[in-house]
Structure 1
Amino acid sequence: MTRQQQGTFRTSMYWVLAVLAGLFLFIAFNYNDLSSTKGQVKVGKRQAESIASTFWSKRQVNPGSFQRTAILQDDTAVDGYISLHHLEKSYEKQFSHIHPLQYWEVTYYRPHDTKQYFTRINPFDGTVIGFGMHSSIASPYMDTGQMIDSAKAYAVEQLKQLQQQQPRQNVDIVYIGKSRESDGLHFTFADKQAKIGQAPMQVHVQVFAGTNQPNGFATSFAVPKADRSWFALQSKRSKIMTWVFMIGQFLLFVGALLVLYRKRRQGVRYGRGFPLLVLAFVLDLLINVNTLPQLQSQMGFAAIAARGNWMSDGWIGFFVEMTAILEVGMLYFITVAGGALAKDVMGEERWLSWRHPDWPIRVRNAAFRGYGIAIIWLGLQTLFYWIGQTYFHVWEQNDMGSSPWNNVVPALIPAAAWFAGINEEITFRLFGYGLLKKLFKKTWLALLIPAMIWALGHSLYPVYPVYTRFVELTIFGTLIGWCMLKWDLETVIFAHVSFDSILMSLSLLSDQPVRMAPAAIFWAILPLLAGVAAGSLQRMGKHIFQKDLI
């Protein structure tokens, strides 16, 4: 064996060992979560909608005359409180059947109507745990002095129904106060016998406007003021960090325009990466449409005109389409400018044209290399969080916003991995590095600053303290940038896509009552399949784009 062959063999062995180590770390530290069915949703979206329909039909409300949206929600205040103080086991034993941290919220609404009916359903046993009506119609005067006893009796009745697993002979609640809303009066009671840590359980009863009858019920926990203040501070900091990210991203876009202006006479290739951008646009539009239920929930139902599950009209449809156009429009100019800068600061070989004869083998190698990097990345991330949780009181809260259940088609959620990989690697690695290298001439600075901007964009993830993800992704963003310099842009795109695809595929396995193994496996290996199919993709692209765009 020649010296060169020996070096190649050693390099291959190092790669294999690093990938195996990353896989071992990821599985070893996450084995319980990967193998456990605890916390897995057992009542699906359609079943929750059926339960809500039956519930309101018994109350002389015709659900068929309304549109509906079912969203898997999370009581973030209570979830954060018990996670912060390590009260998960105690809460699970005492209150998970009365006030589960995750719940389905099925809302019946009409576009531009003032009345909405909501139902909260336990996703583990199908119990209705809360319900009520929202309305902006002004409430007529009601004599509240005669209603407290009625509301209290109603609250006790509802609590006894929810406490069948752990029945109490006497439910002792005390009146706290009331608030007058447009849809009626809201009475609040405290349960003397129910408390988690320093947070007592509260019971809320709604008396509908015009009927003077209790017909709304919900539970909550009064998180102590000190904890609420801490979370409010964390939220404020994360929003500030996100704004800094948005400013940084916008400055990169402005920088791209300035680069293109300065190079306008140097034959900038405006078709660079055009097929990639077409793919990005299709993916972004698909993602936005798929997350329509979340968008409806966040922006309010009364102002939204929606048809069925897939299509929308009015301003929300315009919003979805314009978001995709703006995001991919910015990416287009950044891509062209990044390609122009790559020629100056990295060498053109760091990103091959898809028409280049070596492109298929380049992409094939990048797919396998990127997949290996993704597994190593998963292992290192797992180690990072183990160290953080063990020594720095880092912890993560549930995030229902990323649940596959809150998408029109849950199996399509890993498509977001492809848009994120393409968009973020071109923006922060290719162009970000190129621009900073051109300005400051320092490689380490050109790797670090774009990684920091990229890391700030993940500050809204529910990981505490909020600076945790900034530290994590600044480190990994810098390392990924180094991988681009060592190999090529295609490698880091595949590494990013593979990393996100694996994690999102696991969410399909863990969050669904019927495990979506075929879809999860498909998305998890798709980056490798795309790399293997690179030659066919190139031939197809050349057939579609006959004109030499590059």
Structure 2
Amino acid sequence: MVKRQSESTLLLLAVIGVILFLSVIFTSSYLLGTDQAEEEASQTPAITMQEAADVAVRFAQKQFQLSSNYEASTLYQTHSKRSGYLQKEHLSDTYSERFANLPIDYYEVEINDLSRGSTTYYVDINYENSQVLGWSAHLSPLTKANTVASSLVEPQALAEQAIQDQGYTLADFTKLDLDKSPALEKGSSLPAALGSSFVYQSLTNQIGEARLHLSLAVSGGKIVSFYPLFNIPASFEAWQAAQNDSASLMTRISMLVSLGMAAYALYILIRYRREITFRSGLWLTVIFLIIYIGNNFNMLPAFRTSHSEGPSQFEALFYLAFLNVIIVMMAVSVYLSVLAGKQMWSRFHWNPLPSWKESSFGRDALTAMGRGYLLCLFILGVQQVLFFIAEQAFDVWSVNDASDSVLNMSIPGFFPLMAWAAAISEEAIYRLFGIAFFMKICRFRFLAILLPSVIWALSHTQYPIYPVYTRLVEVTIIGVIFGYAFLKYGFMTVLFAHASMDSILMGMSLYGLGDWTHILIGSFYLVFPALVGWFIYKLHQSRTKRRASSMPRLDQY
């Protein structure tokens, strides 16, 4: 009877969650009209990365006599600072209407000329119409010397001709002194000793307080750098910097407390080492480690989006190696949390994570999967309501992050597997161990649920969502729901709930790629947690039957 009541409660919560989710979707669609659909359509590339690379290569061959021995790769990029300013000032729609030829999101093609040492070209391509938006040449020392020496044409005349060639009207711009030019979105000029730099300010094109500028560099009779950029107001940059500093501080607090929790978990393992079965947390740790490291390799193109002047591959590989070291340390923390958490809950005479050896493990996993999906639907509804309230009441907005986009992944279809890495690590650290840890400290159940939820939420404030404190509130509320569900249903239920929630959201992110292959893959991930639960059940059932058949029967003697 108690079990039926529990299932009925979860079913009711799931229905409430679906109603909340759909209500917010319909309300948002009504308020926004067709603007949101048009905006989402404009964010979907109309050309492939290979087509963008072909356009960029032809441009580099014409502009710089690119040799036949080259490597070209394409990344998705975005003007995140410009996007943030426009959203904060509610100017995004106006910008889209007035500056359709200067999109926020675009492709950046990196071309490494292998015949000229470390010469690298970056060419920005409009992924809606294949237009070249801007470019820069980062030459090897020998090429720089030869280029500067061969300069015969007046640099300013070349710069002004390039402005007209790119479709701009020269009379609409005024040339600025470099020492008086405003700070622009990103540097694009060569050092003055190696060429001539110019900045032209538009007399007519302005959005809010941001005015269009053209930044150019001329060297050796060629335009080696050309970018249309905006001078984002210093007041916005200061506000965003303060927000980012707050997010960094909250993240450091989360890391520091989490490190202290890991240290205490290690103490528990040492103290109760004779009572602990050390292999019990290995499988979860190994699964976490394999998925996370695999995702890091999958993200290698994304790591190249924050590059310096030369080839980006070395910097990305260095960051990949550093990140994998961090992930190994996280895996150790997961392992410690699983073992210490189980040990601490045994003091309360409760086992929230059953062992594979238990005869009911398969059925428990299948039940946890079903409960997890129901809980997931409720949390998704709550999350949508929180997003809606934050957007309407607190003016919350987000910017695209090229370093976290599925467009910058080697295999986008691998990305939703990260749902399991997140679920394993976060539920092990902040629920299985975290609640037991704070129960020991404060003795109040609500605080024992709230405090690890806050610590967990603090680590989510680095996402590009502003104001950053709203993410703290949202994730804390979700953490409290997970916490109560953990105490009522155990670890496997919240593990499946968390994995199902992230798998659905990450799977749906593949829809934005626009092709049927990724739409089908994304749809598969909506049901993938159910398949995992069913597979565990069947695998355990098969093992139980084999073990039973191998045992001698009494009637044989």
TM-score above 0.5: yes
- 8 Å contact from structure 1 (residues 428, 450) kept in 2: yes
* Post-superposition CA distance 1:474-504 (Å, at most 9, x none): 1111121111001111111111111111111
Q: Write the distance in 1 (CA, Å) between the matches of 2:529 and 2:237.
A: 43
In the alignment, which of 270, 280, 286 is matched to residue 294 of structure 2? 286
Task: Give the structure 1 partner of residue 346 of structure 2.
Answer: 343
Q: Write the distance in 1 (CA, Å) between the matches of 2:394 and 2:204.
A: 34
In the alignment, which of 175, 183, 186 is matched to residue 197 of structure 2? 186
- 1:195 positional shift: 0.8
Cα 1:285–1:510, aligned 2, differ >3 Å: closer, same or farther? same
Task: Give the structure 2 partner of residue 240 of structure 1.
Answer: 249
In the alignment, which of 201, 216, 223 is matched to residue 214 of structure 1? 223
- 1:250 positional shift: 1.6
Q: Write the distance in 2 (CA, Å) between the matches of 1:252 and 1:144.
A: 66
Gaps of 5+ in 1: 161-167, 307-311, 544-550
For residue 167 of structure 2, give the secondary structure of its aligned residue in structure 1: helix
- 8 Å contact from structure 1 (residues 113, 302) kept in 2: no
- 1:11 positional shift: 3.6
* Residue 231, structure 1, aligned to residue 229, structure 2: no
- 8 Å contact from structure 1 (residues 68, 108) kept in 2: yes
- 8 Å contact from structure 2 (residues 110, 121) kept in 1: yes
- 1:20 positional shift: 3.2
- 1:125 positional shift: 1.7
Q: Write the distance in 1 (CA, Å) between the matches of 2:542 and 2:54.
A: 46
In the alignment, which of 460, 463, 466 is matched to residue 461 of structure 1? 463
Cα 1:392–1:61, aligned 2, differ >3 Å: closer, same or farther? same
Task: Give the structure 2 partner of residue 109 of structure 1.
Answer: 112
Cα 1:159–1:256, aligned 2, differ >3 Å: closer, same or farther? farther
Q: Write the distance in 2 (CA, Å) between the matches of 1:73 and 1:435.
A: 43
Cα 1:251–1:386, aligned 2, differ >3 Å: closer, same or farther? same
Q: Write the distance in 2 (CA, Å) between the matches of 1:509 and 1:45.
A: 17
* Greater shift in the superposed pair: 180-189 or 469-478: 180-189
Task: Give the structure 2 partner of residue 264 of structure 1.
Answer: 273
- 1:177 positional shift: 3.1
Could you tell me which amino acid in structure 2 is paired with residue 496 of structure 1? H
Task: Give the structure 2 partner of residue 195 of structure 1.
Answer: 206
- 8 Å contact from structure 1 (residues 304, 316) kept in 2: no
Could you tell me which amino acid in structure 1 is paired with residue 505 of structure 2? L
In the alignment, which of 77, 80, 96 is matched to residue 73 of structure 1? 77
Question: Percentage identity across aligned positions?
Answer: 25
- 8 Å contact from structure 2 (residues 83, 399) kept in 1: yes
- 8 Å contact from structure 2 (residues 304, 313) kept in 1: no
- 1:526 positional shift: 0.2
Q: Write the distance in 2 (CA, Å) between the matches of 1:459 and 1:92.
A: 28
- 1:65 positional shift: 3.1
- 1:319 positional shift: 3.7
Q: Write the distance in 2 (CA, Å) between the matches of 1:5 and 1:527.
A: 22
* Post-superposition CA distance 1:153-200 (Å, at most 9, x none): 32232134xxxxxxx6x6511112346517643321111111111110
Q: Write the distance in 1 (CA, Å) between the matches of 2:2 and 2:373.
A: 25
- 1:147 positional shift: 2.5
- 1:342 positional shift: 2.3
Task: Give the structure 1 partner of residue 285 of structure 2.
Answer: 277
Task: Give the structure 2 partner of residue 512 of structure 1.
Answer: 514
- 8 Å contact from structure 2 (residues 57, 111) kept in 1: no
* Residue 44, structure 1, aligned to residue 48, structure 2: yes
For residue 498 of structure 1, give the secondary structure of its aligned residue in structure 2: helix
- 1:453 positional shift: 1.1
- 8 Å contact from structure 1 (residues 184, 206) kept in 2: yes
Cα 1:144–1:77, aligned 2, differ >3 Å: closer, same or farther? farther
- 8 Å contact from structure 2 (residues 368, 493) kept in 1: yes
- 8 Å contact from structure 1 (residues 78, 223) kept in 2: yes
Cα 1:135–1:259, aligned 2, differ >3 Å: closer, same or farther? farther
For residue 414 of structure 1, give the secondary structure of its aligned residue in structure 2: helix
Aligned residues: 525
Task: Give the structure 2 partner of residue 255 of structure 1.
Answer: 264
- 8 Å contact from structure 2 (residues 153, 221) kept in 1: no
* Post-superposition CA distance 1:317-368 (Å, at most 9, x none): 64465344333222222222122122224711x2111222111111111112
For residue 228 of structure 2, give the secondary structure of its aligned residue in structure 1: strand
Q: Write the distance in 1 (CA, Å) between the matches of 2:154 and 2:173.
A: 18
Cα 1:443–1:109, aligned 2, differ >3 Å: closer, same or farther? farther
* Post-superposition CA distance 1:6-36 (Å, at most 9, x none): 9578546624532432442354356575796
Cα 1:107–1:253, aligned 2, differ >3 Å: closer, same or farther? same
**1:521-532 mapped onto 2 (5 Å cutoff):** 521-532=523-534
**1:290-305 mapped onto 2 (5 Å cutoff):** 290-298=298-306, 302=310
Gaps of 5+ in 2: 179-188, 546-557
Q: Write the distance in 2 (CA, Å) between the matches of 1:231 and 1:79.
A: 12
